[in-house]
Amino acid sequence: MELVDTGSEINIIPEEIAIKASITSRKLNMNLRGIGGHITSLVGLSEFTPITMLAGAEKEIHLFIAKGAVHTILGRPFLADKNVKLEFSHKQGEIFSYPEKEGRQLSLTICNPQAMGWKISPPRGMELCASSEMENGQYMENNHPKEKKQRKQKVNLQQE
DSSP 8-state code for residue 77: H
Q: What is the pLDDT of residue 90?
A: 77
Task: List CB contacts of 150: < 8 A, sequence separation 6 or more.
Answer: 142, 143, 144
CATH tag, 2-82:
2.40.70.10
Q: What is the pLDDT of residues 39-80, one digit of tens each?
A: 999 999 999 998 887 667 788 899 999 998 898 999 999 989
Question: What's the whole-number average pLDDT of the chain?
Answer: 77
Euclidean distance between CA atoms 113 and 119, whole angstroms? 8
Residue ranges, comma separated, of all CATH 2.40.70.10 domains in the chain are 2-82
Question: Which residues have C-beta within 8 Å of that of residue 67, sequence separation ≥ 6?
Answer: 15, 40, 41, 42, 43
Mean pLDDT of 1-23: 90
Indicate the pTM of the whole model: 0.64
Q: What is the pLDDT of residue 17?
A: 93
Residue 99 pLDDT level (bands cut at 50, 70, 90): confident
Question: Around Cβ 138, how many Cβ atoms within 10 Å?
Answer: 13
User: In the predicted model, is pLDDT for residue 117 greater than 80?
Assistant: no
Q: Is the pLDDT of residue 114 over 80?
A: no
By mean pLDDT, which of 20-29, 75-84, 151-160 is the weakest?
Answer: 151-160
CB 41 within 8 A of CB 30: yes
pLDDT above 70 coverage of the chain, percent: 69
